[in-house]
Structure 1
Amino acid sequence: MKIKRRDFLKLSAIAGATAAVGGCARSAVELNALSATKKSNVVIGEAPGEWKATTCQGCTTWCPTEVFVQDGRAVKVKGNRYSKQNDGKVCPRGHLSLQQVYDPDRLKVPMKRTNPNKGKGQDPGFVPISWDEALSTIADKMMALRHDKEPEKFCLMRGRYTYMRDLIYDVVPKTFGSPNNISHSSTCAEGEKFGSFFTEGYWDYRDYDLDNSRYILIWGCDPVASNRMVPATIKRLGEALDRATVAVVDPRLTTSGAKGHEWLPLIPGTDGAVALGIAHTILTEGLWNREFVGDFKDGVNRFVPGRKVTEEEFEEVHTYGVVKWWNIAVADMSASKAASVSGVPAEQIVRVARGLAAAAPHVAVWMGPGAAMQARGGYSAMAVHALAGLLGAVDNEGGSLQSAKIPVNKLNGDILKKYQDELAKKHSHMEKIDQRGRLELPALKSGKSGGGVATNNAVTGMLNNDPYEIKVLIGYMNNFPFSCNGTDKWEKALGKVPFTVHLTTNASEFTMFADIVIPCAVTKYEKWGFVKTKANRYAACTLVQPVIEPVWDVIQDETEFPYLLAEKLKDRGFANMYDCLVEMFCDPETGAKAKNSKELSLYALKYYTKPLWDGKKDTHGDKINGWAEMVARGMWNSAPYEYKSHWGKFKTETAKFEFYSETLKKALHKHAKRHHVSVDEVMTAVNYTARGELAFVPHHEPPMRHGAESEFPFVFIDYKSRLNREGRSQNCPWYYEFKHVDPGDVGGQDTLRINPVDANKIGIKDGDRVWVTSVAASGECIARVWEGVRPGTVSKAYGQGHWAYGRTATADFGRSATRGVNNNTIIPWELERLSGSNARNGGHAAVRIEKI
C-alpha cells in the first residue's frame, strides 16, 4: 500500500476547514478562520513592521535571534542585538527556518490512523479528527494502563527541546507512573561529555575562548558549520588565522580545515593514537605547562621514550596521575608509532605538538563528536581533552572553558512528589526501556551507573519486550527511525507498538507508525520557551517566543499538550497530573493559576526565568527590570566567565584534572560491584579492549569495524552540513539550492565524496550514480570525486534520504527515499556503551561503492 503525498496534504487541507476543535484555548471558529486565512505577500519596507526577539534552534548553538514581522508575517531573521553569545549574528540555519514555518506540507490538524497494519510502505489511512477525539483517545489508552496497574508500559520519547521540557518530560511520566522518559541526548554528544567529565569533572559541552587563542586544534568537527558556537566561530576564524595557528584533525577536509594551517587526515577511529603521539612529544621534549601540571622535583625531565618513571619524582600542582598515565599508555606511543596507527605523518604530529606547546596555555583543543561518538570513543574523548590539561589550557585564557551560571528556577520536586500516588511512586522507579545500567550498558553520566540515557538502545528493549512491552508511546519533536543508526530496527520496533502518538510539525518517518498525530507549533515562531547556551565566555538565557500567530491549527508540544492531556485524564478520574501542573506553574507576578493551556505556557516560562527579571538578586549579568523588558530584549547575558574558576576545585575524585581518572575508576568499580563482576569483565561486556589499569587512563583503542575489509573496503564518514536544521530542513528548497556551501558538495543532489585515487581504482567518475552498501543497507548517491577526503574513506552529509517528510524532501511520500539515502540507514546499529552514546563515527561503518 502507498499513500500519495498529494492525498495526505489534501486531507490536511480539508481538515483545516472542517475539523471540530475541543479542549483548546481558542474556539473552533477562531481556529478554522485562522486555518483558512491566506497571508498577503509583503515586501520589507512597504508595510510597517517590527523586530521581535526569539531563539533559533536549528542546531545546539541555540542562538538568540530577532525576527522581522510585517503584516503578521515573519519575513527576515537576524541575531539578537543584545547577544554576547553570537554577537548579533546567525548562520544559514537561522534563515532557512522561514521556509519551515511556512512549509505548505506542515501538519494542520489532528489526524488518526485507520489502517491497523504498521510498517514502511503501509498507508496509515490518516483521516482528520477533532482535538477532542484526539486527546480523548490518548487519555483512554493511558487510563487503561493505570487500570491494569502497568503505567510503566507508557513511554515518552523526546527529541529537540526547550527547557520547558520539564512539563512534558518529567511531570507527565512521573505523575502517571512510568520511568520511561527517553531523551534524544545520547544521539548527539554524550561521548564528548564523557571525555571532559572523566578528566575535568565537567559533564557538558565546553566553551572555547577563540578571542585569545594562539593555537586552535579542532578535532572531529567543523565549528563554522556545527558544534555549538557557530556564528561566533564564523566571525572569529578569520581573525584567528592571522593571530593563531589553526590545525584540524579529521579524515575529511572541512571548511575549517580548508582555511587552516594544518590538516591531519587520520584513519577514522585512531584519534586516541594521534592524541597520545602529541602527548608523548610534549612530555619527552619537556614542553608541558608547569604552572598547571607541575614538574620533576629536581627539574630533570625523566619522560624518556619507553622508560617508566617513579611517581615520587614528580610533584603535580592542579593535575593528578600524569606519571601513571605516562607509564601505562603514553611511554610507548611515540609520534612514529602513532603515525603507523593513524596514517598521520610523524613529523606532522611532532610539529603540531611543538606548536601547541609554544602557544600554551592559550590553546583551544576543540573536541568534537568525530573523536568521541565512536563504538570505542570514550577513551579517545579523554585522550583529546587530556591534551588541554597537559598544556594548562583547561579553564584558562584562550582555552576550553566551563560556563557561568544561569540562575533560573528549577522544577519543584516537592510538588511533583506530592502528586505521585503509590502506583506512580513504585512504577516510576522501575527499569527503563533503554536498559541503561545493565552490565553491557553502564551509561556513566556524571559517574553514575545507569545515570545517562542510551537512546538508541531503547529500540532493543522495545523489540524484545525487555524489561516489558511498551503499549503506549508518545514522541515529540523526534524522528528516531531517521535520526538513529539502525533505522530498520526502529521501523520494526515502532511497527509493534499497539498505540503511538506523534507530536510534530511535519509528517515524518516516526509519524507513519503513529495512531494519533498532533500538529505542533514551530519553535522560534509560534511557541513559548527558553534555552540556556554559552559562547565567547558568556552564558545566556534566551527566550523562544510566538512572534507570529500560529499559521495552522497547532499547539505547543511541551506545555499545551501536557495541560490538555491532563484535563482529559482528570475527566476520567485521574487528576494528579492536572493538579500538579496548575499548582506548580502559577503566574509569579499575580499568583494566578492557569485557566487554559496558553496561560500555563506563559506562566511556566515566567516561573523558570523569574530570577533573571524580578530584580531581587544579583544575577551576575544583565540587569533586567521586569517581565516586559525581558520579553522585549528576549535574553539575558551573564558576566564574562572568570578564567581558572575551577583550578584546585575540579569536580573529580581528587579535585584535580585527572590523567589517571580516579573518577572513572570509582564509577567502573561501582558498576562492576552492582553486577558482581570485575572491571575487566565490564570492559569485555562493553566491547573495549582495555584491561587492568589501562581502563582508567586516556588511551588508544583499535577501531571497531562492521564488515570485512575485503568486501567493504571503504570507511563511511558522516558529517553535518551547515544547512542542516537537525535533519528537518530537507523540505526547504533553499537547502538544495545552496548545498554547495559545504566543501566538496554539489547543490541539488545527495553527494558521496570519494578520493580520486580510490575512484580511479574502481572506475568511478565525478557525477556517476553509485550504490553505497554496508552490512546494514544500500542506498543511491551521486559520486563526487574530490581530494578533500582521505583515501580509503568516503564522506556524506547527514540529512537527505527521507522517505516521509514533504514534497521537496521526497516525492514518493511514505514509501521510499527519492533524494538520496539516509546516513543512518547505511551506518550499522552500534553504541558507545560507557556513555550510552549512539556510535556514528570512528570507522565502524565499512562500505563498498558500485557504479549503477
Structure 2
Amino acid sequence: NGVVKWWNLELFDKTPQWAEEITGISAKDITKTALDFANAGSRAISWVSPGAAMQVRGSYAALAAHALNGLVGSVDSIGGILQANSVPSAKAPDVKPYLSETIAKALKNKKIDQRGTPLFPALKEKSGGGVVTANVANAILNEDPYDIKVALGYWNNFVFSINGSDVWEKAMEKLPFFAHITTNIAEMTMYADIVLPAKMHMFERYGFSKNKQNMHGYLTIHQPLVKPLGEAKTDETEIMWLICESLAKKGYDAPLRYYKENFKDPQTGKEPTTAEEFDLYAVKMLTKPIWDGSSNEKGDTINSWEELLEKGVWNTKKFTPGKKIDNFKTVTKKFEFYSETLKKVLTEHAEKNKLASVDEAMEHANITARGERVFVPHYEPIVRYGDEKEFPLIFAEHRSRLNREGRSQNVPWYYEIKDVDPGDESNEDVTKINPITAKEYGLKNGDKVKITSPQGSIESVIKLWEGTRPGVVIKCFGQGHWAYGTVASETFGQKPRGGNNNAIHIHEYDRLSGSTARHGGTARIKIEKI
C-alpha cells in the first residue's frame, strides 16, 4: 500500500550520491549493494536489528529497513522473512473478581514510565501500548506521575544495563524500599533492602518457553534436574505464593484465594497447598493445550503431561508461506509503505493528549518530519550529544558473542576467550580505535585512557584496530561490573572490572517506540591518557 506515494513524498531525490555525503559510503558501493539486494528478490532479507532501531529516531530507521523486504517481495516468502504457526498455551484466569475496590481503582492510575504521553508515545498498536523502561528512573526522581515508595524487581539490573547508569543509581538511592529477585548479586541488588534468590531456569525449576525455528513454532518445557542452591525460589510463582500467604495472615486473602481456586492440578483437580505445588500446577495448566491431545492436529502428538516431560518439546506443523499476503495486521491488510496504521495510531495519540495535530505530536517526540512524510519511512537526521570541539570522537558499541543476556560475566571463561569478539583481547577490556585516529591523538596499543562523554566517564585500554572507521571509537558491551560476583568485578561492590559502556551512553530514547537509544553514535567523547 502506498509505494508510489512513498516515492513522491520521500524517495524521489534520495540518490546514492545524497547518501554518500551522509554515510561516507561511496555511491558506487551503495548502488552495487542495492542491485545485489534487488536481484536476490524474495530471497533477500533486510534485518531490522537493534542497531537500526535502538537509536534516537530509530523507529524510522527500522521502518526503512523493513520496507526493503516489502520492495523485493521477501515478506512471508521462502528465503525471506517468515512467521511461524502459533503455539497453543492457556491464559491465566481473570483476576478481576478478586480485586478489591481500592486495588481496581489503583490499577487505573497512569503508568510510572509515562508511556502514551506527548514525550513518550511508546506506540504498540496504540498510544502507550509499549513500555519506556529507562524512563522509570526519571519518574522516580521527579515523582511524576507519583512518588514510588516500594518496588519489586526481578531479572533486571538497570543500574548496569541501561544508558546513563548514573541516572538509575540516583533513582535507586531515592527509592525508600526495594526488593530484588535475582540469581546473582548484581549492581541493582546492592540497593535492595531484601534480596530474594531465584532459581535458574535451565535446570532448577519448572517453566516453558515458546519460540520458532526452521519454519516451525515450538514449546519447550523446563524441568528441575538438580536441587536449587540455598533458599532459591521460582520468581513468578513460588515467591508470589509466599508473599500471598503472608498477606492472607494479615487479613488480605484475595490473592491467595485466586491462586488456590484457579490453579488446580489439571490432572487431579487438587488445589495447591504449597509454593512448590502452585509452581508445578501453574506450568501444567498453562501448557495443558499441548499435552492433553487437543493440539495434536496442529503439530506433534503428545497425550499426557508425563509424555511432554519425557519428550521435552512440542513442534507445530511446518509453516506454509504466503498466508500473510493481503492479511497483514494493518489497517489496509496490506504491507504498508504509506502507513495508514501509523496515521491512525498517531492521530489517536494526538487526540488523547489534546494536541493540535500529529505535527505537534512529532515535535514533542523529537521527530523532524511533518505532514505526510510522518507516515512513510524517511530520513531523520542523526542526534549526537556533545560539542564537537570538546568531544571530537563518536562512541559506538557492539555486543559480545559471550554475553548470554548479560548473565555470563561472572565466569572465568568469559574473559579468557574474549578474543572471539572482533578486535578484542583475552583478559582485557579494550577500546578500539582506527590507527589513523590513534596517530592523530598520539595513542598506541596498551595506553590506559579515560573516556568522557557529556553523560559520564570510564577508564579503558586502547587497541588499534582497522575494523572501525576513523573518528569512531568502538567498545564491546559487557564488562564494567562493580558487583555481580567476584569474577565480574575487580573488587566486589567497589571497583569495576573494565568499563561499563552505559556510564558514557547518553540517557536518551527512541520516543515513538519507547526503546533505549544505545546505538547510532549518540554520544560524542574525548579521550585522555592516564
1:634 is displaced (CA, Å) by: 1.4
> Structure 2 residue aligned with 1:622, among 300, 325, 342?
300
Q: Is 1:835 aligned to 2:513, yes or no? A: yes
Alignment of 1:619-658 (within 5 A): 619-658=297-336
Q: What is the letter of the counterpart of residue 719 of structure 1?
A: H
Correspondence for 1:317:
none
CA-to-partner distance for each residue in 1:162-201, whole Å, 9 max, x for gaps?
Answer: xxxxxxxxxxxxxxxxxxxxxxxxxxxxxxxxxxxxxxxx
Q: Which runs of 5+ in 1 are unaligned?
A: 1-319
Correspondence for 1:385:
66
1:619 is displaced (CA, Å) by: 4.9
Q: Is 1:401 aligned to 2:82, yes or no? A: yes
CA distance in 2 between partners of 1:540 and 1:823 (Å): 35
CA-to-partner distance for each residue in 1:317-355, whole Å, 9 max, x for gaps?
Answer: xxx000110011111101111111111111111111111
CA distance in 2 between partners of 1:583 and 1:720 (Å): 45
Q: What is the letter of the counterpart of residue 667 of structure 1?
A: V
Q: Which moved more, 1:671-680 or 1:380-389?
A: 671-680
Q: Is 1:423 aligned to 2:423, yes or no? A: no
Correspondence for 1:361:
42
Q: Are 1:727 and 1:800, in contact at CA under 8 Å, matched by a contact in 2?
A: no
> Structure 2 residue aligned with 1:753, among 414, 429, 432?
432
1:813 is displaced (CA, Å) by: 2.0
CA distance in 2 between partners of 1:743 and 1:824 (Å): 20
1:625 is displaced (CA, Å) by: 2.6
Correspondence for 2:245:
567
CA-to-partner distance for each residue in 1:126-157, whole Å, 9 max, x for gaps?
Answer: xxxxxxxxxxxxxxxxxxxxxxxxxxxxxxxx
SS state at 1:361 partner: helix
CA distance in 2 between partners of 1:619 and 1:815 (Å): 57
Alignment of 1:547-562 (within 5 A): 547-562=225-240
SS state at 1:848 partner: strand
CA-to-partner distance for each residue in 1:95-119, whole Å, 9 max, x for gaps?
Answer: xxxxxxxxxxxxxxxxxxxxxxxxx
Correspondence for 1:343:
24
What TM-score comes out, normalization by structure 1 length? 0.61
What TM-score comes out, normalization by structure 2 length? 0.98
Q: Is 1:787 aligned to 2:466, yes or no? A: yes
1:839 is displaced (CA, Å) by: 0.8
Q: Are 1:727 and 1:798, in contact at CA under 8 Å, matched by a contact in 2?
A: no
Correspondence for 2:257:
579
Q: Which runs of 5+ in 2 are unaligned?
A: none
Q: What is the letter of the counterpart of residue 497 of structure 1?
A: L
Q: Are 2:209 and 2:220, in contact at CA under 8 Å, matched by a contact in 1?
A: yes
Alignment of 1:736-775 (within 5 A): 736-775=415-454
CA-to-partner distance for each residue in 1:505-537, whole Å, 9 max, x for gaps?
Answer: 121111111111111211212111111111221
Correspondence for 2:368:
689
CA-to-partner distance for each residue in 1:642-689, whole Å, 9 max, x for gaps?
Answer: 111100111101100000011101111111111222111111111111
CA distance in 2 between partners of 1:632 and 1:717 (Å): 46
Q: Is 1:492 aligned to 2:173, yes or no? A: no
> Structure 2 residue aligned with 1:664, among 337, 342, 349?
342
> Structure 2 residue aligned with 1:796, among 457, 465, 475?
475
Q: Are 1:434 and 1:461, in contact at CA under 8 Å, matched by a contact in 2?
A: yes
Q: Are 1:804 and 1:810, in contact at CA under 8 Å, matched by a contact in 2?
A: yes
Q: Are 1:766 and 1:784, in contact at CA under 8 Å, matched by a contact in 2?
A: yes
Q: Is 1:521 aligned to 2:202, yes or no? A: no
Correspondence for 1:483:
161
CA distance in 1 between partners of 2:41 and 2:263 (Å): 49
CA distance in 1 between partners of 2:224 and 2:390 (Å): 53
Correspondence for 2:291:
613
SS state at 1:657 partner: coil
CA-to-partner distance for each residue in 1:195-235, whole Å, 9 max, x for gaps?
Answer: xxxxxxxxxxxxxxxxxxxxxxxxxxxxxxxxxxxxxxxxx
Alignment of 1:199-238 (within 5 A): none
CA distance in 2 between partners of 1:359 and 1:400 (Å): 13
Q: Is 1:706 aligned to 2:422, yes or no? A: no
Correspondence for 1:846:
524
1:816 is displaced (CA, Å) by: 3.0
Q: Is 1:502 aligned to 2:180, yes or no? A: yes
Q: Are 1:621 and 1:638, in contact at CA under 8 Å, matched by a contact in 2?
A: yes
CA-to-partner distance for each residue in 1:769-821, whole Å, 9 max, x for gaps?
Answer: 1211111111111111111112221111211111112111113222231x111
Q: Please tell me the root mean square deviation across aligned C-alpha atoms, in Å.
A: 1.1
Change beyond 3 A, Cα 1:568–1:619:
farther
Q: Are 1:612 and 1:636, in contact at CA under 8 Å, matched by a contact in 2?
A: yes
| Identical-residue share of aligned pairs (%) | 50
1:616 is displaced (CA, Å) by: 2.5
Correspondence for 1:730:
409
> Structure 2 residue aligned with 1:375, among 56, 62, 66?
56
SS state at 2:46 partner: strand
Q: Are 2:88 and 2:295, in contact at CA under 8 Å, matched by a contact in 1?
A: no
1:738 is displaced (CA, Å) by: 0.8
Q: Is 1:432 aligned to 2:111, yes or no? A: yes
CA distance in 1 between partners of 2:505 and 2:388 (Å): 15
CA distance in 2 between partners of 1:377 and 1:369 (Å): 9
Q: What is the letter of the counterpart of residue 784 of structure 1?
A: K
CA distance in 2 between partners of 1:675 and 1:491 (Å): 31
